[in-house]
A and B are shown apart, each in its own frame.
Chain A
C-alpha cells in the first residue's frame, strides 16, 4: 500500500543550527512534493514545492531535496530561530490527490 512517513518524534535543536526533517514514501511515483508549515490551532501554510525532475530547491533559509531513487525528501532550515518552531508536513501528488505525511514537530531552543 502507499505510505508517506515523517519522523513522528519531535526534533529539538539549538538556535542557529540547521534543522533537517525527513519525508520517506513507498509505492508512489509523485510528480511533485510539497512542504507545509503548521502552527498550533491553524491550518497548514505552503512553503516549497519540488518537482520530480528537480534535485534541490531553495527559498531564503529553506532548502528541499528530492531523491526519487531513494523515495525521500529532506527539508533543511539553516540558521534556525525559535520562530521556526512548528510542525512541518510533506505532501505528495498521487493520481490527482494530495496526500500528507503525519508531520514532524520542530522545537528550536534559544
Chain B
C-alpha cells in the first residue's frame, strides 16, 4: 500500500492563478480531509469528506473547493490563489471518523503564492 499520496511536493503560483492539489489513498478509507499548516497555527481543517459524493466545510474553507467523485481521490482546488494561501497543505484519511481510528497523513504540499 502506498498510503496517502500528495502531488506536487512543492508549487509556486502567482496571485490569481488556479491550481489543484492532488490527494489519493489506496486504503479504501471513507473519510478524507485537507488541512493547512502555518507557523504557530497548527493544523487547520479546510474541507472534509465522509464518502464519495459528500463534502463539507472545515474551519477555513474560503478560497478552496473540493469534490469527491471516487473513494480514492480528494483534490483541493484553489480557484484564484492569494498570498494568504501560502502554506503547507496536508491531506489525511481514516476508515471512518466515528470508529476512533488514527488519521493517516500524506507528505504535504508546500505552496508559495507570490
Contacts and interface: CB of A to CB of B under 8 A. Distances in A.
A31 B99 CA distance: 11
B11 to A, nearest CB: 15
A46 B102 contact: yes
| Size bin of chain B's contact surface | 20 to 34
Interface string A69-110: 000000000000000000001010100111111110000000
B102 A98 contact: no
A interface majority secondary structure: strand
A101 B59 CA distance: 13
| Size bin of chain A's contact surface | 20 to 34
Interface string A1-17: 00010101000000000
Given A43-B92, A43-B108, A99-B45, 9 more contacts: A6-B42, A8-B40, A41-B108, A49-B100, A49-B102, A89-B42, A93-B97, A97-B48, A100-B45
Interface of A: 4, 6, 8, 31-32, 34, 36, 41-46, 49, 51, 89, 91, 93, 96-103
